[in-house]
Structure 1
Amino acid sequence: MLASFIAENLSNPDFVLAGLVALFESRDGCHVEHERADLDRRLVALKQKKAKLATLVVDGVFTLEDVAGKAKAMQEEIGQLEARREALAVPPEPERPEDYREAVEAMAAAFTEFPFWSKEERREFLKIQRPEFWITTEGVTRYSIPVCKNSSQMDTASVLADNPHGSARVGFEVSPPFPLVPLPTLEELGLPQKRYYSITELAAAIREHPATLRRKTLIGQYPDAGCRDERGRRQFTTEEVLEIALLRRLSACGIL
């Protein structure tokens, strides 16, 4: 299980502290510029997605009630990214990983018990810790967890936005990637091998209505087709079909 896999690493304080050492060593001027550029890119992408949602409401594709939750989540993320962007303008004092040991050990103790908790207990804990996962067609390739110096401050994700100095989001590579669910194949989907697939063929293969599939590509829940035919209709490649089928499977399992 993914929970056991993550907990096995995060229950080891030295593993997390080693990640902090690597993070702080990379925090030079060049790193700050890269982070600022990444924040700018993410802000532009989020604002474009939010604008697209507004357009879909104006066009009657969705109602305000349909997009309210997603729009609110986007705005909260935009606020956090903008706060981090402003914080980068103030050069922080050098950080010492050992200053985080108490907090890391407290977190490690919790993750030791994590695999044995109920689903409700895990959900509440993860709402506080807010780990992030990088998911590809191969599985989980990277994950990160926020850590702050004050072990009594549980909502570490909020600390990252409000007070980035004294807190850090530590990332870890997963190599080889951790598989979440079996990768789909064209044979399983009942599709023949060919160059392109229409949205109708893809929708039937993943058991979604074509209109639902079209809406999900518009709002970014599924990647859109990179090609169009002469009439402007979507043409999905084999790679795009399998990626969308995997995302559909992950969603059905409650992972996404």
Structure 2
Amino acid sequence: MNIALIGYGKMGKTIEAIALERGHQVVLKIDVSNAQELNAENISKADVAIEFTGPHTAFDNLVKLIGFGVPVVSGSTGWLEKMPQLLEEINRNNGSFLYASNFSIGVNLFFELNKKLAGLMHKHGSYAVSLEEIHHTEKKDAPSGTAITLAEQVMDVYTEKTKWVNDVLPRPEELLITSKRIDPAPGTHTITYASEIDDISITHTAHNRKGFALGAVLAAEYIKDKKGVFSMKDVLDL
């Protein structure tokens, strides 16, 4: 499979290494120094594009890629308020798109555990729920996309929580996400249910970026010959 990497920072380089290990070719690498090379001619060499950029460039990159007709895997965060517009572009172009806030196999299993635990805990009103995420200092957005996904899963059960808030004292109807930036943490996410008697917490700790990169390559392998909008639940058959 020929892969275009849109975003060639630490994550892009790790994805490249995993892709090569799995027998794929990287035919295009785009970063801030050669952004003008993201065009139809260069993308035509790729079977799939994997996009990991920043919150200020991701949406424009994705619109271009969908317009070029290449299946797209994206892990960029901080742009999701524009997802409805992107879905319109995907429908208009009969495109292929797979988004995940986190591609780690472990994290996606953790998502399922989070939903199960929220369902169990909501019946017991003495426990107050909150979230914490820790990432390296180069991460540009807060809270992390993974933390937002976890919070939304909790709020699907805790319907009395109408929104999440970040690093402020929450009101009763708000769910607190605390964000910390500590090097070299690749990503740690904890959901805590606290009462006067005891606390219950579940935590996922990433030791490096390899889990994210492997998941992104697995997603690219999955979407290569498909049409539509997919998630890691489809890739992992969850």
Q: Which has the larger radius of gyration?
A: 1
TM-score by length of 2: 0.22
TM-score by length of 1: 0.20
User: Is the strand fraction higher in 1 or 2?
Assistant: 2
User: Is the helix fraction higher in 1 or 2?
Assistant: 1
